[in-house]
Amino acid sequence: MFARTLRATGVGWVMPRIPEETIRSILQANRIEDVVGRYVMLLPDGRNRKALCPFHREKTPSFKVHPDKQVYRCYGCGESGNAIGFVMAMERVDFLTAVKSLAALAGIEIKSDDGVPSSLIEEARRANECACRFYARQLDAPGFGRAAREYIERRGFGKESVELFRIGAAPDAWDSLFNYLRRERISPEAMVEAGLVMPRKSGSGWYDYFRGRVVFPIMDARGQVVGFGGRTLGGDEPKYLNTPETRFFRKGRLLYGLHRAAESIRASRTAHLVEGYTDVIMAVQHGVQGVVAGLGTALTRENARELRRYADTVVLLYDGDDAGFRAAERAIGPLAAEGADVRVVLLPDGLDPCDFLVARGGAAFTAVLEGAREAVAFLAARAAAAEGTASPGAQRRAIERCWAPFAEVDDPLLRQLVRRRIAEVFGVGEELLARALRAAPAREAEERRDAPNPYPGPEEMLAAALLAEPALRREIALPARFADAEAGELCRALCAESEEGVTIEALMARFAEDPAGRRLERLLARLEDMQRVGELLDWRLIAHQSREEIERLAAERESRTVKIELDAARREGAAEKARQLTVRYQQLLRQTKTAGRVRNAAAPT
């Protein structure tokens, strides 16, 4: 129900849930030693097996398979997991694809809980590939095809690069792709599933999602087309437009160019992260290897985790202007939290990597890469320039700003090493710095607020239910007060829309400069994880329970405040005020107890 609803409203897509019993059956049917043995030569090692690690270079085997525990672990690079995780790492695929692959080997049928037939999913995959070929051919067409060719030539892309990255053009028409795909016998339902067309508001017919744009196909780690990025050549907004979220396209987990760069990155254990498609393409055109890009949003922990599967060091090559530097600052946190050694390249004259390569060539670019600065040195210079160091107060603010991106690092050893490096850069004592950072947690808390809480609160669960079941937006009366202001704002925004009208794009545009926008992205990612681990989700029940819990918690907070006022009134001898506060206090206690009984009665047994 949830995935079908999101597709119908255009809000996004959540990975279909695979029952836990099915996953257990797949793992039981695929012994870890058999799965790993298809990729590497395993040698006896007592009760275990050993091999040269397939994830990093080594001369002495440190990769172990433990049949009794059904897990693998490399004691050199730290890679570990079960059979599903091994297939994900070796084939560079997502969880669902790895499960399907192992299920096929075992002859186990997977039934999708979101009601989408497997035949429609495969048809949607084919639709993406057909669309890619269609867009590529449009470059040779007159009209908009000519304008797209001229843009590509102005940017300096050669014919080989255009063919290698399969760059194309979406005609400036409402249904060119739709009509082409119909001739290829692809159904409108499959086109919607792939995010290629959208249903008309009138309810009759469909229209192309990309129109009048240069199109950059986006591949997953296996090189399969999963979506597109389109750049307008006119004044249309947004300048860059990505495929909407689908089962194939989740921009918080994809990296542009990874399918071509993966082997180079794995060999060198170093990845170069840039901001845009054109940066990747121009780097490859000039012989620079191991370059990938995000998909137009801030780097996520999922992006960072994906990079860490291949690289130990990540070099940030963002635009050489203030906006690029700020983006680099934001990217350091997720990467450091995943244990990456982060370095930053400062490009001169405000150039982006693409323009720098065109103007100065690959040799100059390589020379700039060799001058990459470690993350702490980069942050310290930025912080000192912003805050100054003339006074002790300014220097303290600079130190706190330098530390802020590392606040989400959980590894205590890494946190200590970072503090030591900051202490060296600013010339302060390490122990004193550690005490100062512990004594001033406000800045750290501010940064950590953006990290997803593994236990969603009732406000966030209510927002999730309103996203999943549009009918609830008319049914649920929202609480008057929300402790979680961002989630509360999302709830109000959803209830302000009609059942069919809200889209993820509209919500993100509304919250473009607001923390609630980041919350919405995290909420969608959390819902994917909830569906994936197999939870049975009754969204109507969740909505009503969440609303009751919000009101109960609000009553608890108010009761604590009233109790303080009541005690003060009694001490002051204000009898009438104390009587009124006593009545209110008893009302609040009854409200919290009643809500608690309802919640416990509804809890699963």
Residue-wise DSSP of 449-517: TTSPPSS--HHHHHHHHHHH-TTHHHHPPPPS--SSHHHHHHHHHHHTS-TTT--HHHHHHHTTTSHHH
Residue 342 and residue 393 in one domain: no
Domain end residue (candidates: 448, 467, 485): 448
Residue 185 and residue 72 in one domain: no
The model's pTM: 0.63
Instruction: With beta carbons less than 8 A apart as the criterion, state whether 16 and 247 touch.
Output: yes
Residue 202 and residue 228 in one domain: yes
| Structure confidence at residue 112 (pLDDT) | 57
Residue 483 and residue 597 in one domain: yes
For the segment 47-74, what is each residue's pLDDT rounded down to a tens digit?
A: 999 999 998 888 899 999 999 889 999 9
Residues facing residue 229 across a β-bridge: 216, 242
Residue 231, domain member (yes or no): yes
Between helix 322-337 and helix 375-387 the angle, nearest 10°, is: 130
Cα separations in angstroms, 347 against 313, 317, 336, 355, 372: 19, 8, 22, 10, 10
Q: How far apart are CA 574 and CA 565, in angstroms?
A: 11
Question: What value does the mean pLDDT take over residues 123-148?
Answer: 94
Q: How far apart are CA 61 and CA 70, in angstroms?
A: 19
Instruction: With beta carbons less than 8 A apart as the criterion, state whether 96 and 125 touch.
Output: no
Q: Which residue has better confidence, 501 or 329?
A: 329
Strand order in the sheet with 341-344: 291-293, 270-274, 313-316, 341-344, 373-374
Residue 205 and residue 287 in one domain: no
For the segment 246-294, what is each residue's pLDDT rounded down to a tens digit?
A: 888 988 889 999 999 988 998 899 999 999 999 999 999 999 999 999 9
Residue 174 and residue 226 in one domain: yes
pLDDT confidence bin for 316, thresholds 50/70/90: very high
Domain end residue (candidates: 48, 80, 106): 106
Q: How far apart are CA 4 and CA 192, in angstroms?
A: 11
| Structure confidence at residue 135 (pLDDT) | 97
Residue 272 and residue 396 in one domain: no
Whether the predicted pLDDT of 414 surpasses 50? yes
Whether the predicted pLDDT of 162 surpasses 80? yes
CA–centroid distance for 122 within its chain: 24
Residue 1, domain member (yes or no): no
Would you state the structure tokens that stand for residue 68, as one six-digit string? 């009794």
Is residue 113 classed as helix, strand or coil in its secondary structure? coil
Rg over alpha carbons for the chain, rounded to the nearest Å, is 27
What is the CATH classification number for the domain harbouring 334? 3.40.1360.10
Task: List the end-to-end C-alpha distance of the chain, in Å, as a whole number.
Answer: 24
Residue 3, domain member (yes or no): no
What is the CATH classification number for the domain harbouring 53? 3.90.580.10
Residue 499 and residue 531 in one domain: yes
Residue 300, domain member (yes or no): yes
**Phi-psi category of 476—alpha, beta or left, where left has phi over 0 and alpha has psi -120 to 50?**
beta
Residue 431 and residue 361 in one domain: no
HSE-up (13 A, CA, CB side) for residue 516? 21
Based on the structure, what is the number of domains in the chain?
5
Residue 488 and residue 559 in one domain: yes
Domain end residue (candidates: 308, 336, 371): 371
Residue 10, domain member (yes or no): no
| Structure confidence at residue 560 (pLDDT) | 79
For the segment 549-584, what is each residue's pLDDT rounded down to a tens digit?
A: 888 888 887 887 788 888 888 888 888 888 888 888
For the segment 167-203, what is each residue's pLDDT rounded down to a tens digit?
A: 999 999 999 999 999 999 999 999 999 999 999 887 7
- The secondary structure element, H or E, covering residue 600 is helix 575-602
Whether the predicted pLDDT of 32 surpasses 60? yes
Residue 514 and residue 479 in one domain: yes
Residue 31 and residue 46 in one domain: yes
Residue 6, domain member (yes or no): no
Would you state the structure tokens that stand for residue 459, as one six-digit string? 């406000």
Residue 250, domain member (yes or no): no
Domain that holds residue 382: 378-448
Whether the predicted pLDDT of 13 surpasses 70? no
pLDDT confidence bin for 519, thresholds 50/70/90: low
HSE-up (13 A, CA, CB side) for residue 584? 18
What is the CATH classification number for the domain harbouring 122? 3.90.980.10
HSE-up (13 A, CA, CB side) for residue 473? 21
